[in-house]
Amino acid sequence: MSLHLKKNWPGYFLAAPAVFAILALSIYPLFRGIWMSFLNYNLVRAGDPAFNTFAGLSNYKEIFQDEIFLKAIINTIKWTILNLLVQLTIAMLLALVLNHNLRGKSVFRTLSLIPWAVPHSIAAMTFTFLYNANVGIINIIAVKLGIFSESISFLGNIDTAFWSVIVVSIWKGIPFQMIFILAALQGIPGDLYESAQMDGAGSWQQFWHITMPIIKQPVAISTILNLIGIVSCFNTIWLMTEGGPLYSTEIVYTYAYRRGFIDHNFGTASAASVILFLFMMLFSMVYLRLVRDNHQ
């Protein structure tokens, strides 16, 4: 046994349970999932001789020939970009406002965190109720104000479902992004702004030349973290529309779930998950690069 091990064995010993837990609950499913994407693994064909045999890239071929999967990829990209841009813009504005010395600042800050604290399931149910064609308050008000001639099924129409669901995701995601930006803003020394004002810089110049360069890195890191959450947002979509109507809210995550738990084909479900993983891996690598640059 090396000197290092001898010296540190109590540490290794204490860390071992956690390491084993991670190996069993994360690393094993990770590799098992990747491996399964290369297998014939349709559970309802468990008696088939080909079951659990190597399938090469056929699962990948199958999903890329599936129009629904291609639609899911487009929806995922649309979902991610829109979520990100709107969340970032609103979070930035909110953070800038809450960074000023307003009366009741702490109350506003606390209130703005509420959407983040609400569980996905509760948020999904609440908004489903708000959107309801019969008793939803949005329809009732819109009809009374004459905006709509009759109630609309927001979640039931292919033109409105995607936008209705994304509103919930944006509403829930803003606080996470905002709190990072606010923390970064609070780290900026006030004398920088005072000096800039003395030099005749306007509000926009101060924001662009002082605020933005300082908060750029923390914002980028929080954005990447947020992105991972956005791409893997399953609960809200599934609880509100199950990817419908006509797959108009289907993202890769819901597609993988459908292939696995409704069609029982875990081979294609794993293949779709691996594709999603590649998306997220890309974001993770960017995140790690940013963390490294930040430390340097």
Partner 1 sequence: MGKKLLRLGISSAVLAAVLAGCGNSGSADSATSSAATSAPSETSATQEASSNTNTELTVMVTNDWIDPATPAGEAMAEAIELFESQNPGVTVTLQGAASTDIKESFQTAALAGGGADIITTDNSGHAIDLAAMGLLVPLENFTTDEELIQKYQPGPLDSGKFQGKYYSLPWYMNCCGMYYNADRLDELGIAVPTDWQSLQDALKQVKDAGYGGIITYQSAYAFYAFFYQNGCKVIDTSGEKPAVTVNDAAGTEAWNYICSLIENDYLVESFKEATSWDKAYESFGNGDATFLFGGDWCASGIQKANPDLNFGIACMPQGKEQATVLGGWTWNINANSKHPEIAYDFITFMCSEQADPVLAPGGRHSARLDWDIQKALEGNETLLPLAEQFSYTMARPAIINEKAIDKIIVNALLEVEYGQQTPDEALAELTQNLQDNIDSNYN
What are the residues binding partner 1 (CB under 8 A)? 22, 25-34, 36, 41-48, 51-52, 131-135, 150-158, 228, 232, 241-242, 244-246, 253, 256-257, 260-266, 269-270, 273-274, 276-277, 280-281, 284-285, 287-288, 292
Write down the H helix ranges in 50-208: 58-64, 67-98, 105-112, 114-117, 120-131, 137-144, 161-186, 190-198, 203-206
Q: Side chain identity at 284, as an amino acid letter?
A: S
Shortest separation between residue 162's beta carbon and partner 1, angstroms? 14
Nearer to partner 1, 120 or 264 (CB): 264
Nearer to partner 1, 171 or 253 (CB): 253
DSSP-assigned states of every residue in 174-242: HHHHHHHHHHHHHTS-HHHHHHHHHTT--HHHHIIIIIHHHHHHHHHHHHHHHHHHHHT--HHHHHHTT
Shortest separation between residue 98's beta carbon and partner 1, angstroms? 30
Shortest separation between residue 136's beta carbon and partner 1, angstroms? 10
Could you identify the residue written with the tokens 């979509």? Answer: 237
Q: Is residue 238 within 8 Å of residue 155, measured between CB atoms?
A: no
Shortest separation between residue 266's beta carbon and partner 1, angstroms? 6
Shortest separation between residue 238's beta carbon and partner 1, angstroms? 11
Q: Is residue 77 within 8 Å of residue 276, measured between CB atoms?
A: no
Shortest separation between residue 46's beta carbon and partner 1, angstroms? 4
Q: How far is CA 197 from the centre of its chain?
A: 39
CA 118/CA 140 separation, integer angstroms: 25
CA 278/CA 284 separation, integer angstroms: 10
Shortest separation between residue 6's beta carbon and partner 1, angstroms? 21
SS3 145: coil
Nearer to partner 1, 215 or 269 (CB): 269
> What sign results for the dihedral spanned by CA atoms 136, 131, 229, 59?
positive
CA atoms within 13 A on the CB side of 61: 7
Nearer to partner 1, 95 or 224 (CB): 224
Nearer to partner 1, 60 or 287 (CB): 287
CA atoms within 13 A on the CB side of 175: 14
Shortest separation between residue 281's beta carbon and partner 1, angstroms? 6
Nearer to partner 1, 92 or 253 (CB): 253
Nearer to partner 1, 94 or 168 (CB): 168
Nearer to partner 1, 108 or 156 (CB): 156
SS3 17: helix
